[in-house]
Chains A and B, each alone.
Chain A
């Protein structure tokens, strides 16, 4: 049986096709059938982007729509996936996928482009506690990206630069507009770029950490979402949370789509 999980994020669509194999009478999941990630071009509506990403994933896997037992959607735009049988929240899909990748995971931190959240999960990958920040995106990737642009760096360069700094410069601004002017002030004060990058990523990490602390830090901590690729952010988050290790999946932006496809598979039984 093959199921599909579609994660409709604010800026991109992620699709995972998941095959459940029967191994000696026991169902086993093979998650690597195909994963497709497309950025959502501004001129495409979310529903059109979902169709496009799904068709690309099917084509890449050599499958047709009728081969798929069920399509489930997750993410902020899940309601736009008209062909999905069901929608589940990012908390439910993220926790499920994270525990599949790291069975000892009990604290899941999800930091994507526009939103960050902390979740506590049980051993089955069921979210039992969650907190986000509904008011602003200062605890998410787009905030760090805006600040990296002010320093004329890519987000990757920005993360690497922050690792070169051991300074702690507090950033007080809570919103992107004010934070940008704080960054400009630091530039004018000839603060080294490395230190500014660390200050920004520390600030994002501290906001994310506040959400995680609401649910409590327990067991293995897993970070999912696109910010996993930013080594500087991971380091800042470790410091903010006071943990030695944060487990990082090798396909972080697909974990919610994966969890979503797993839930779709479970509900076909």
Chain B
């Protein structure tokens, strides 16, 4: 089955450019602002959208995404509203893949089968669930594949060559290489190490490899894009959203436009990367 993600990465390959993958948290700082940003992301250059499912205990996330999760939950975010955001986005865009990213408990609590049918119906393309390693594949990964969703796995510097095949076995859509040992929003990776790691993963799979964690500027994004099939930016965009709140926590007017302008700069970095490299 060819999924939206497969098609998107095939097109990027044909155009000989890297993909730009954006992360925002659903409902941060509120439903309407997320929807406005979401709808503007493809126009601002996002090739794939990761939408965070807020969870009270984001164990793999740093302060920026922890805070975004808290803002979202305070403004009433929930799994149903996250799915509603996807549904509304899909009414205007049938090409840009959306990957839901988060932790297992809210999915488990809704019930895996019910969640999957709702996600498919809303127009979700893939899932990244941080606390489900391949050892727990029967929980969600296998049912998700049967439901036609891509299950995107994280590979990390601690995933050695012996373990990689197990990590890649049920991965589809793309592989997400976490470029550092650590939480989101921490130290930036060394381009040299990233290139070597991407090459290592590509010896084991023909799937596209996207790289994330610690990419904050258009220059860093460009650097990564020269070495990988995709660059993921999360905390920096989430910080830009946080900067749109006034002292009382209210969203300033024009927030979505300014966040999208920042996204555009990052996208230009990614999309110009190979062109600059070729000069």
Answer yes or no: do A and B interact. no
